[in-house]
Each structure stands twice: as C-alpha cells, then as structure tokens.
Amino acid sequence: MFSITGASSGIGRATALLFAKHKYQLSLTGRNEAALKDVAKECVQQGITENDVVISPTDLAADNAPKAIVHNTLGKFQRIDSLVNSAGILRAGPVLDSDISVYDELFNVNFPGVTYYCMSKSAVDQFTKCLALEMAPHGVRVNAVNPGVTVTNLHRRSGQDETAYAAFLEKSKSTHALGRPGDPREVAEAILFLASEKSSFTTGQLLRVDGGASSGIGQAVSIRLAREGYALSLSGRDQNALMETVEQCKSAGAEKVIITVGDLCDDSNAERLVDNTVKEYQRIDTLVNSAGILVSGNVLDAGLDLYDRQMDVNVPELSQLIQVS
C-alpha cells in the first residue's frame, strides 16, 4: 500500500499511474481536488479497482494535513507500507526581492528564487540520510530521488511564462548529457525501484535521475573511491582546488593520494601524470577521465575564476508527515 503526496500532477501523478499498473493500493494527496479525482480515475483504468484508491484533497502546508492524510489512509487500508513524498512548490524571484513569507511557504511545503527552492531540497537530502539511519533498526528504508529538469507544470506554476519555459527546456538540452529534459514517467520508474523489494538492501541513498546533469564529477569520483580504500593519483589545473580534493579524500579514508598539477591539453603534462603515478604505485589499474571545461559567452571577456561556490545551509527539524506516519 503506497501513500503518494503531490499526486495530482507531474511526477506524483506519473508515479501513481505506474504503481496502479503494478496493482498497488494507493492513497493519493494533492491540493487540486478535481485533478486528484482525475488521477484516481486514470489509476482505475490502469487496472486497480475503485476500492483500491483513496484521495485526500489537502494542502500539506496546513498543520493538520499530515494527520488527516494518515487517518484517511489507515481508515481505508489499515496500513501504510511506503510513503512517496512528491509534493513541492517553486516560487520565482531573487532573494533580495523576496518577502520572508516566500521562505516560509517553500519550507512549509518542500520541508517544515531558486535559491530558497534549492535550500529546501538540500534539506530533504540531509533529512533522507539522517532518517534512514534512525529508521533502519525498525526495518524501514528511506531513500530519495533527485530529478534533473523534468517536464512538469512546476515552473509554470511558479510564474514562468511559456516563452521563458520553452527557452529553459531548450537550454536543458545542453546541460544534460543525454541532450533532453526528463519525463515524469522516467522518474516514476526510479521511485518504483526504491519502493520495491528489488532495492531491499538500499537505504539512505539519493538516486539521481538527471540525464547526466551534474558538476564536480571528478572530485566526487575521487572521494567515492577514497571511501573504498583505493590509492589515488589526481590531476587538475587548479592546484588549490586539487589540494582541497586531496584533503577530502584523506578524510574519506584514503591512505595515499598523489597529485599532478597541469593542463592535460599539453602532451608533456599527460606524460608527467603517467610517470608520476607509475613511479609511486608501479601500476595504473583504472583511468577515470573527467577533465573538461565549459566557457559561456565571449571567450575574451571570460574571467579565470570558474570555480563554483557552495553554500552550506542548516535547516529545520524532521518532517511532521514522516513523524505521524
């Protein structure tokens, strides 16, 4: 039995339809009652009976909403096997021009401008990891799916007009390795996997379904390999950034890490990298080639500082919906 929030549209709707196709009982939640009823009818068309689906038209930002959803679901099915939290909102606008009420609204829905939206989603990531540890002794698994640009009405509801949205989707073709934005059904498949017994030994994970849209891949791979105890030879053009990566790798458990600073476009630097590595380790088992740059705009006007800055955010406590579930 699955309880799905945000089920009236987008990824939540696609997830509900996919689960119905697999004959799961469903509890669907959304703010748009008419749309929610339509989704329930579509679920029946996928193969479940009307008795296998219950809807709770409500706004998750309301204080009593989580308890009402749980009460409605338990009253119908006497249990909740899995919770799929797909509810979310996006409000456009820069931080300096946004009232504090925008901050409150985003966190009330995404977690009790794009900047506030990303802050709330970062909160969900950490919430997932922490709750996974807390719930593991009870046999409960907690995972999250991190979609890339997915064609839904989320941006339209945020105030983005059709012209701007079309330009945004067109731009995503160049920022996603697969050359296109995602479809809600593709995200739903990932959710189904995490919710099923096929992922019975998976918890606390953030599954990216983004068509290859990412940054800092080389650094992330280095740290991940360090956690597995591999000896590493790292190369890059920015010595300071490279040293930071070395420290993170050591913190992750790597006992030995060497670096070679240089631009691999220069053949001599490529040779120097191999020589340094073989001299230190006597071998190279695997080569991970993650070097690359992207310069936007006029090359002559582009600055040298291309390093992305990150912002650490502390966020409120656990979601009330999870607590009452």
Closest CA to 294 of 123, 204, 175: 175
Rounded distance between C-alpha atoms, residue 176 and residue 178, angstroms: 5
CB–CB of 84/195 below 8 Å?
Answer: yes
Structural domains in the chain plus CATH codes:
2-214 (3.40.50.720), 217-301 (3.40.50.720)
Closest CA to 35 of 58, 5, 7, 59: 7
- Segment 266-313, tens digit of pLDDT: 667 777 888 888 899 898 776 665 554 333 333 334 333 432 333 333
Residue 202: predicted pLDDT: 92
Residue 311: predicted pLDDT: 33
Residue 164: predicted pLDDT: 76
Residue 317: predicted pLDDT: 32
Q: How many other C-beta atoms lie within 10 A of the C-beta of residue 136?
A: 13
Show the low-confidence residues of the chain (pLDDT under 50): 95-96, 111, 113-114, 116, 213-217, 292-325
Residue 48: predicted pLDDT: 95
